[in-house]
Amino acid sequence: MKDPVKACADRASESAESKRPRHIAIIMDGNGRWAQARDLPRIEGHRRGVETVRMVSETATELNIDAITLYCLSSENWKRPKAELEFLMHLLEQYLIEERRTIMDQGLRLKVIGRRDRLPENVIKEMDKTLAMSESNPGTQLVLAIDYGGRDEITKVARELAREVAAGSLREEEISEERITSRLYTAGLPEVDLMIRTGGDMRVSNFLLWQLSYSELWITDTCWPEFTRENFLTAIDDFALRQRRFGGLNVNE
């Protein structure tokens, strides 16, 4: 019997390049629930989730995906218990240090989106070091959304444009979708083609609200720590089979 992971990989590789997602966004949900279901502390779910991040970045590199954006910490996550937040910051710092070799070996270009002012200085220091090291890498862009909120991002852009209009350096009629897109954290990245959410919840949770306007959604009940390469390839395979009309008709209809 053919290995199901290889079967998915074969189908993905057989799909035309134009049918593959160029940019995949992922809501990595279910770490805490996965741990609690096994009578483990919630932080163990976050620790295990790092292994899934490594797998996803490796697979995206193999398939020449242009970019993957991972929802690591939302602006609402600061409401969580202090001990869990401190562990998340420690885990992030550890990831930025320990994954440097993997990032460089895979040719990944790291990018971080979201606010920086609430992050610990030690995290920012390691973040900037890894960003600088990988900025010339030619491969997949690995985008980490940290202290990120979609409404906050759009509000930030709206304030910038309002100030420019008030100062007379921008006319109101010059505000366009393209101009707004160029001011977002994701400026320069391809449009998000596919959004994957693990953990089963049917919502976008304030993630890339502008960027997900025409994205295909793929949601699984599987929690992030147990999200496999087969799951990831199945999502990509499913995307390749979808007909994307963007409000119009399919050319074959």
Q: Which residues have a catalytic role annotated? A: 29, 77
Confirm or deny that 47 is annotated as ligand binding.
no
Confirm or deny that 203 is annotated as ligand binding.
yes
Q: Where are the alpha helices (DSSP H) in 99-169?
A: 100-106, 121-134, 150-167
Confirm or deny that 143 is annotated as ligand binding.
no
The first and second tokens of residue 36, run together, are: 């609690």
Q: E-assigned strands of the chain?
A: 23-27, 67-74, 109-113, 141-148, 194-197, 216-219
Confirm or deny that 34 is annotated as ligand binding.
yes
Burial of 205 per CB tally in 10 Å (0-12, 13-18, 19+): middle
The β-bridge partners of 146 are 73
Confirm or deny that 210 is annotated as ligand binding.
no
Contacts of 241 (CB under 8 A, 6+ apart): none
Contacts of 193 (CB under 8 A, 6+ apart): 21, 22, 23, 24, 215, 216, 239
Confirm or deny that 39 is annotated as ligand binding.
no
The β-bridge partners of 110 are 142
Amino acid occupying residue 134: S
Cα atoms found within 13 Å of the Cα of residue 13, Cβ hemisphere only: 9
Confirm or deny that 242 is annotated as ligand binding.
no
Confirm or deny that 30 is annotated as ligand binding.
yes
CA distance 208 to 13: 28
Confirm or deny that 80 is annotated as ligand binding.
yes
Confirm or deny that 31 is annotated as ligand binding.
yes
Torsional sign, CA 141, 209, 236, 44: positive
Residue corresponding to tokens 């218990």? 81
Confirm or deny that 86 is annotated as ligand binding.
no
Confirm or deny that 78 is annotated as ligand binding.
yes
Confirm or deny that 11 is annotated as ligand binding.
no
Confirm or deny that 29 is annotated as ligand binding.
yes
| Binding-site residue positions for substrate | 30-34, 42, 46, 74-76, 78, 80, 197, 203-205
| Binding-site residue positions | 29-34, 42, 46, 74-76, 78, 80, 197, 203-205, 216
